[in-house]
Amino acid sequence: MVMMMLKGNEATAYAAKVAKVQVIPAYPITPSTLFPEKVSELIANGEMKAEFIPVESEHSALSAAIGAAATGARTMTATASQGLALMHEVLFIASGMRLPIVMAIGNRALSAPVNIWAEQQDTIAQRDSGWLQFYAENNQEALDLTLIAFRVAEDERVLLPAMMGMDAFVLTHTMEPVDVPDDKLVEKFLGPPKPKYPILDPTKPATFGAFVFPEHYMEFRYSQFVAMEHSKKVIDEAFNEFKELFGREYKKVTGFMNEDAEILLVTMGSMTGTAREAVRKLREKGEKVGLIKLTVFRPFPKEELIEITKNAKIIAVVDRNISVGFAGAIFTELAASYNNIKEKPKIIDFILGLGGRDIRLEDYYEIYNKAKESLNKEVKEINWINVDEEAVYEVEGPL
Amino acid sequence: MKITRGVVITEPGSTALEETGSWRTFRPEIRYEKCIRCMICWNYCPEPAIEKKPGENYPVANPKLIKMEVPVINYKYCKGCGICVNECPTKAIDFVREEK
């Protein structure tokens, strides 16, 4: 292992290096551009042996990745926001063809208005694409979760592509000390990049991405559904083995000061660090508050989330995304997870930090106070935090 | 049913397994007593779902034609496009609604 000062994008580039990724088709987009830059540099310096394919769009980047993965090569790419949106149709092709591509995402807001800063809307908008989704809290997690993503995606019981999200700038462009593990240890964890599925091979012709009639299509979709369910166990196995080999522990859902908490915050990504500090400060004042961090969003860790939150009175979900017309995604899915359970905590949604607006300690205090208020009186189900409601009132009128 | 993961097909000929006859709304039926065995329908069938068969055992419009082959519709694959109905010079093909 080597400790290095790395930005988030560089951490995922080094993950590609130590995972011995063989093909990297990529198209630059803020805030992911540093990934193709760093990877090209590593290849040019002879530190990494891989084929870098410069393409003309994100649509082509993922299409090239599909071709590469179909030949059995370990394949990775990176993108963000509009780039991921442009990949939309190709995402479904990659998961439908069951190709274990890994993609690092710099989570960024979508246009319009044009904005390059942190928000998880881009990957949340792709939650139905059949890709696994991991979210990093810091740059070390970005590197580690990229390796874990390969391990799970390539597992024979899964064979689904995976995306690993890290918040724009807060992680992608911020330097942190990162432990870059040794190639040999990584090879022990991932195994050599040998395909476990039929590959594009001129000596054994086959049809890939075939046309399928209504008589068969549903079985392929159900097959993906089953594989995604299987991935739940595979992810736990990967987390356990990762801890044994590298010493760092991951869980789909991680609790902090949650044991006797009456009010639980649920966070995902870089916002968790600030939330932890807020919880610590509130605990000093004797408040019974705890924190649940979500690391895996697809497959949605329903069972683990219920287990860890069921004794709380209030769950305050913090969503850095919004499905306009309903609510934030984590709120929606957590509430749906509790659907058939009689005794359940009250679940309240808090939308904040969109388009890179800073998530501050005082925002968490406000969230906590609102959640606490709800113990005695009705509060809104969906609450926008740190937003100028008056400015919106001027143009849209009252809600 | 047998499927592969990721829709990879390693053997040729899988299209023949898709029985497109299930798409049919109208069904062409040849009235052999009017058929002059010209094979225009066979020529035009885009599928092709019309096959040539020995004609001795079929009704015939003219006894002189008895040695000629007849067109026979393979309903497993006939999608019911109606081109044969339209092209038949003796109007020997009826087009009837599929009913079960």
Cα A27 from Cα A86, distance rounded (Å): 11
Q: A215 and B18: CB-CB below 8 Å?
A: yes
Of A210, A213, A227, the CB nearest to B9: A210
Q: Specify whether the backbone of A355 is left (phi greater than 0), alpha (psi in -120 to 50) or beta.
A: left
Specify which residues A104 forms β-bridges with: A78, A164
Question: Per the domain annotation, does B80 fall within a domain?
Answer: no
pTM to 2 decimals?
0.92
At residue B13, the pLDDT reads 85
Can you give the pLDDT at residue A214? 87
Per-residue pLDDT reduced to its tens digit, A143-186: 999 999 999 999 999 999 999 999 999 999 999 999 999 999 99
Determine the residue of chain B that is closest to A208 in CA distance.
Answer: B8
- Is B92 contained in some domain? no
A246's tokens: 């590298």
Which of B2, B3, B5 should be substituted to probe chain A, the one whose Cβ sees the most A Cβ atoms within 10 Å? Answer: B5
Is B94 strand, coil or helix?
strand
What is the CA angle A57-A199-A23, rounded to 5?
Answer: 40
Residues of B within 8 A of A98 (CB-CB) are 5-6
Share of chain B above pLDDT 90, in %: 79
* Closest A-chain CA to B18: A213
| B32 within domain boundaries | yes
Angle at alpha carbon of residue A6, lines to A252 and A91, rounded to 5°: 50
A chain contacts of residue B14, beta-carbon cutoff 8 Å:
207, 210
Give me the pLDDT at residue A216, please: 87
Domains assigned to chain A:
2-246 (3.40.50.970), 253-396 (3.40.50.920)
Chain B contacts of A97, Cβ < 8 Å?
6-8
Distance, in angstroms, between B46 CA and closest chain A CA? 19
pLDDT at B100 over 80: no
- Kindly state whether residue B25 falls inside one of the protein's structural domains: yes
Q: How far is A364 from chain B (nearest CA, A)?
A: 44
User: What residues of chain A score a pLDDT lower than 70?
Assistant: none
Three-state SS letters, chain A: CEEEEECHHHHHHHHHHHCCCCEEEECCCCCCCHHHHHHHHHHHCCCCCCEEEECCCHHHHHHHHHHHHHCCCCEEEEECHHHHHHCHHHHHHHHHCCCCCEEEEEEECCCCCCCCCECCHHHHCCHHHCCEEEECCCHHHHHHHHHHHHHHHHCCCCCCCEEEEEECCCCCCCCEEEEECCHHHHHHHHCCCCCCCCCCCCCCCCECCCCCCHHHHHHHHHHHHHHHHHHHHHHHHHHHHHHHHHCCCCCCEEEECCCCCCEEEEEECCHHHHHHHHHHHHHHCCCCEEEEEECEEECCCHHHHHHHHCCCCEEEEEECCCCCCCCCHHHHHHHHHCCCCCCCCEEEEEECCHHHCCCCHHHHHHHHHHHHHCCCCCCCCEEECCCCHHHHHHHHCCC
Cβ of residue B6 closer than 8 Å to a chain A Cβ: yes
Q: Measured between beta carbons, which residues in chain B are less than 8 angstroms from residue A216?
A: 1, 3
pLDDT value of position A215 = 85
CB contact under 8 A, A97 and B7: yes
| Per-residue model confidence (pLDDT) at position A194 | 85
Helix axes A8-18, A139-154, angle to 10 degrees: 40
Which residue, among A71, A93, A95, A98, would best test binding to B if mutated, counting the most B CBs under 10 Å from its CB?
A98
CA distance A127 to chain B (A): 19
Measured between beta carbons, the chain A residues lying within 8 angstroms of B3 are 216, 219-220, 223
Averaged over B36-56, what is the pLDDT? 96
Spatial strand order of the sheet with A253-256 comes to A253-256, A289-294, A263-268, A314-319, A346-351, A382-384
Looking at the domain assignment, is residue B7 inside a domain?
no
CA-based nearest residue in chain B for residue A210:
B7
pLDDT digits (tens, 9 = 90+) for A176-211: 999 999 999 999 999 988 888 889 999 999 999 888
Nearest chain B alpha carbon to A66: B6
CB pair distance less than 8 Å for B6 and A216: no
∠ CA A148-A351-A381, nearest 5°, is: 115
Q: Report the residue of A159, A215, A221, A231 to disrupt the B interface, i.e. the one with the largest count of B CBs within 10 Å.
A: A215
Chain B contact present for A96, CB below 8 A: yes
Q: Place B2 in a pLDDT band, splitting at 50, 70 and 90.
A: confident
Task: Tell me the ipTM for this assembly.
Answer: 0.75
- Residue A223 contacts B, CB cutoff 8 Å: yes
**pLDDT computed for residue A197 by the predictor:** 87
Q: What is the pLDDT of residue A130?
A: 98
Look at A220 and B3 and tell me if their CB atoms are within 8 Å: yes
Question: What residue in B sits closest to A97 (Cα-Cα)?
Answer: B6
Report yes or no: B17 at the A interface, CB cutoff 8 Å.
no
User: What is the domain range of residue B54?
Assistant: 19-74
Q: Let me know if A52 is exposed, middle or buried by CB neighbors in 10 A (0-12, 13-18, 19+).
A: middle
Give the number of domains in chain B.
1
Smallest Cα distance from A51 to chain B, Å:
25
